[in-house]
Amino acid sequence: AGDRLTVQARLVGNRAPVIAQFQVADGDRWRSADMLSDKSGAFALALEAVTAPFKYRVVAGTVTSPTYDVSVAHAPRVSRIDVDYTYPSGLGLPPRTEEDSGDIYAPAGTDVRVHIFTDRAASSGRMTLNDGKAIELTADKPTELTATLKVVDDNSYRVALADREGMSNDGETEYFIRTLEDRPPDVRVLKPAQDRSVTRLEEVDIEAQASCIPSAAAPRKPFRWPSRVRARS
């Protein structure tokens, strides 16, 4: 994709001056462009950057060539990244998987395994970290490559991919690696929302919420504990 394409044509058995047109299919119509000719009678047209497939033909006078198809090939690209987290044993957190992410958020010491899915078969790949280190990817399946790393400090990475034909993609997207501070849970009282006076026999609904930090290691929904107590003198 994006390469230059030159189309050449030659009209056989004709010596009369003629103009050749390069025609591209556009639905039920054809868009035309004049081709350049040389002294030998050949015609040519250069397309600077082909990024999408198309159909074309060449028309010279009353002669029309068959219709040809141009297909566009591109290097493998990342379609999705899943991240497996295995946390340090001291945190007491179970392993978990973050699907369709790519960015890594975890406490220092967390072991991470990334599953990189591609839009077409890739024969090799590499994670290039911002600190200069590189991690080779293992091709578990034609469209899935994996790598492991340990979260140590803030960083970032890009994914370079290549196929068997040598077409390569250096990785346009930068993914972040962020270390999260291990802190005690944050507990807040949600109900009642403010101070209130109650009678001796009145029941009061109390609801508290606790958010586990680091947030990326905690469930998406915070824990809530509803309770009902009776006021006493």
Residues 145/139, Cβ–Cβ less than 8 Å: yes
CA 217 to CA 206: how far, in whole Å?
27
Q: How confident is the model at residue 35 (pLDDT cuts 50, 70, 90)?
A: very high
- pLDDT of res. 18: 87
CA 96 to CA 113: how far, in whole Å?
11
Using CB atoms within 10 Å of the CB of residue 229, give its burial: 0 to 12 exposed, 13 to 18 middle, 19+ buried: exposed
Encode pLDDT of 110-121 as tens digits.
999 999 999 999
Greatest CA separation for the chain: 114
- pLDDT of res. 226: 52
Q: Is the peptide bond before 214 cis (omega within 30 degrees of 0)?
A: yes
The residue-averaged pLDDT of 192-208 equals 74
The more confidently predicted of residues 87 and 3 is 87
User: Domain boundaries in the chain?
Assistant: 3-70, 78-179, 183-230
Q: How confident is the model at residue 196 (pLDDT cuts 50, 70, 90)?
A: confident
Nearest CA-CA partner of 105 in 5, 224, 220: 220
Whether 2 shows a pLDDT value over 80: the answer reads no
Q: How confident is the model at residue 201 (pLDDT cuts 50, 70, 90)?
A: confident
Whether 228 shows a pLDDT value over 70: the answer reads no
CA 62 to CA 55: how far, in whole Å?
20
Whether 133 shows a pLDDT value over 80: the answer reads yes
| Tokens coding 199 | 């009678």
CA distances (Å), origin 121, targets 165, 167, 231: 11, 11, 67
| Tokens coding 169 | 């993609």
Residue 89 exposure: Cα atoms within 13 Å on the Cβ side: 0
| Tokens coding 108 | 């220092």
- pLDDT of res. 233: 43
CA distances (Å), origin 13, targets 9, 38, 63, 89, 220: 13, 16, 12, 82, 75
Q: How confident is the model at residue 182 (pLDDT cuts 50, 70, 90)?
A: low
Which stretch of 34-43, 110-119, 155-164, 213-222 has the lowest confidence by average pLDDT? 213-222
pTM of the model: 0.60
Q: Say yes or no: do domains 3-70 and 78-179 share a fold.
A: yes
Superfamily of 3-70 according to CATH: Immunoglobulins (2.60.40.10)
Give CATH for domain 78-179. 2.60.40.2450
- Write down the residue that tokens 């990817």 correspond to: 137
3-state secondary structure of 76: coil
Q: Mean pLDDT score of the chain, rounded to an integer?
A: 85
